[in-house]
């Protein structure tokens, strides 16, 4: 796996995320071809970051898949525009950090043992879901966590308020790196601790 990071690029994070979502999980060669014909400013920038990530790992674009394409908010530049009656209005010029990670995912290179293990995992998935439904808490009651993010937490083996409250910094970093979480995850953990204390009381 290799990565490339472009910092403080002059593009809106909201607009860049629209492009990042489109290419995440795609083959790097197909992603570069698709971005070439997109009219958005962010498409050209993300294309260069993907090419850099591929080159950093000494790969060929057709060999790798884009495992992660993340756009984070960076510093905001503030400017002023003169308006009527001697007043002024503010102009906000946002910047973004763009992180791309690529890795080799070859289905043909998988051994029969690996394929069998994958099949077993898929069969066991419904059982894990059933366990979450019967034994797990409703994590959507925690501030900042919705149904989609609850499923992502369940996929990481986190089913109860106590699991969320006892998450380590390493687990938090993994969740924030793998999934884009809106807000501060520490607030969600604090809210989960309140639920746990309430249940204990």
Angle of helix 147-155 relative to helix 112-135, nearest 10 degrees?
Answer: 130
- Pairing mode of beta strands 2-9, 64-82: unpaired
Give the tens place of pLDDT for each residue, 135-151. 677 777 777 777 777 77
* pTM assigned to the model: 0.52
More confident residue, 39 or 135: 39
Q: Which two tokens stand for residue 58?
A: 């000494």
One domain, residues 53 and 137: no
One domain, residues 151 and 67: no
One domain, residues 80 and 27: yes
Domain end among 79, 104, 129: 104
State mean pLDDT over 155-160: 78
Domain end among 104, 138, 170: 104
Q: Measuring CA to CA, how many Å separate 141 from each of 10, 161, 198?
A: 37, 10, 13
One domain, residues 85 and 149: no
One domain, residues 84 and 169: no
Total tally of structural domains belonging to the chain: 2
Give the tens place of pLDDT for each residue, 66-92. 999 999 999 999 999 999 999 999 999
**CATH number of the domain to which 23 belongs:** 3.90.470.10
Give the tens place of pLDDT for each residue, 103-113. 987 544 554 55
One domain, residues 97 and 123: no
Q: Which two tokens stand for residue 152?
A: 């992502």
In what order do the strands lie in the sheet containing 88-104?
2-9, 88-104, 64-82
Q: Cα angle vertex 130, ends 129, 133, to 5°?
A: 90
Instruction: Assess contact for 58 and 5: CB atoms under 8 A.
Output: no
Domain end among 63, 85, 104: 104
Confidence of residue 183 (pLDDT cuts 50, 70, 90): low
């Amino acid at each position: 796996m290799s990565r490339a990071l472009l910092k403080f690029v002059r593009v809106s994070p909201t607009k860049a995320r629209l492009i990042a979502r489109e290419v995440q999980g795609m083959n790097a060669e197909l992603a570069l071809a698709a971005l070439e014909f997109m009219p958005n400013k962010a498409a050209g920038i993300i294309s260069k970051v993907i090419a850099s990530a591929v080159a950093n790992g000494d790969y060929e674009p057709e060999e790798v898949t884009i495992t992660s394409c993340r756009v984070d908010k960076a510093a905001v530049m503030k400017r002023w525009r003169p308006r009527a009656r001697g007043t002024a209005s503010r102009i906000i010029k946002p910047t973004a950090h763009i992180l791309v990670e690529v890795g080799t995912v070859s289905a043909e290179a998988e051994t029969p043992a690996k394929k069998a293990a994958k099949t077993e995992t898929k069969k066991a998935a419904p059982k894990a879901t059933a366990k979450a439904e019967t034994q797990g808490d409703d994590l959507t009651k925690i501030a900042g966590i919705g149904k989609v993010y609850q499923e992502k937490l369940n996929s990481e083996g986190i089913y109860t308020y106590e699991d969320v409250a006892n998450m380590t910094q390493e687990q938090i970093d993994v969740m924030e790196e793998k999934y884009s979480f809106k807000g501060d995850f520490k607030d969600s953990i604090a809210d989960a601790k309140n639920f746990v204390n309430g249940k204990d009381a």
